[in-house]
Structure 1
Amino acid sequence: MSPRWQPNPDIRTGRHVVHRLHAHLVFITRYRRGALTDPMLIRCEQIMRDVCADFEAELREFDGQDDHVHLLVHYPPKVALSKLVNSLKGVSARMLRKEFGDHVGEHLHGDHFWSGSYFAGSVGGPPPTVLEQYIEQQNQPL
């Protein structure tokens, strides 16, 4: 390896693909009730790291408050983000209810832990306007 070339840890390679896909995800507790405690957030992060690993994704950052969590996930293109989100929410809800059932029962009623909705935003790379200009400036065949 030449000394000038340094591998970029944000760029991953597969058999037929080179990619850098990151998503910022936000999950909110049902009715935005403050059900999450510090021990629950610590356990939630562990659960979500395991789920990401099952999808060959990486949970880069995790943090939260009593009513929501933020995740920064680096995932491969073969993963449908919606399927990853469903697993993250489903597995974490099941495990947190199982391990912290009494506390969860005091704050959340019914079968739902997370709100049905979520935020997902792409992260990194140039702004869309720069990409639009780049694509427009490509030479077209005559």
Structure 2
Amino acid sequence: MHLVFVTKYRRGVFTPEMLTRCEEIMRDVCTDFEAELKQFNGEHDHVHLLVHYPPKVALSKLVNSLKGVSSRRLRFEYTGEANQAIMHGRFWSRSYFAGSCGGAPLTVVRQYIENQRRPV
């Protein structure tokens, strides 16, 4: 499943260090759900994930956990660095994109995620 999470108001808060930490957090959450985070990348205001999860897992519960845990941990760890306006409310936008990768070859989706313009 290809997932995209956008920050609230598309505010550009991610630094390269925050994206690395976000990937670690999301990888841990996926492990808790017996899922596998196959690919991760992002830009200043959003992240892309390629996740393989078992059929017994409800996608909405996985997404809720990914966004909730990462939001709490990132706000706690980076309060001084990130935009304060986003830190006082929601970190992520309430919506998300979830696209099945059944039609496209995984290599194409991986390449698309790898080619995101990660902040420098």
TM superposition score category, shorter chain reference: 0.7 to 0.9
Q: How does 1:42-57 map to 2 (within 5 A)?
A: 42-57=20-35
Give the residue type in structure 1 aligned to 2:28. D
Q: Does 1:106 align with 2:81?
A: no
Structure 2, unaligned runs of 5 or more: 105-120
Give the residue type in structure 1 aligned to 2:47. V
| 1:102 counterpart SS class | coil
| 2:37 counterpart SS class | strand
Identity %: 67
**C-alpha root-mean-square deviation of aligned residues, in Å?**
1.4
Q: 1:109 to 1:50 in 2, by over 3 A?
A: closer
| 1:31 counterpart SS class | helix
Q: Does 1:29 align with 2:29?
A: no
> 1:7 matched to which residue of 2?
none
Q: Does 1:90 align with 2:90?
A: no
Q: Does 1:62 align with 2:40?
A: yes
Higher helix proportion: 2
Number of matched residues?
104
Q: Does 1:120 align with 2:98?
A: yes
Q: Whole-Å Cα distance in 1 between the matches of residues 32 and 23 of structure 2?
A: 14
Q: In the TM superposition, what is the alpha-carbon distance from 1:111 to its structure 2 partner?
A: 2.0
Structure 1, unaligned runs of 5 or more: 1-22, 127-142
For normalisation by structure 1, the TM-score amounts to 0.70
Q: Whole-Å Cα distance in 2 between the matches of residues 125 and 65 of structure 1?
A: 25
Q: In the TM superposition, what is the alpha-carbon distance from 1:108 to its structure 2 partner?
A: 1.4
Q: Whole-Å Cα distance in 2 between the matches of residues 79 and 117 of structure 1?
A: 19
Q: Whole-Å Cα distance in 2 between the matches of residues 103 and 79 of structure 1?
A: 34
For normalisation by structure 2, the TM-score amounts to 0.82
Higher relative contact order (CA 8 A, sep 6+): 2
Q: Does 1:76 align with 2:54?
A: yes
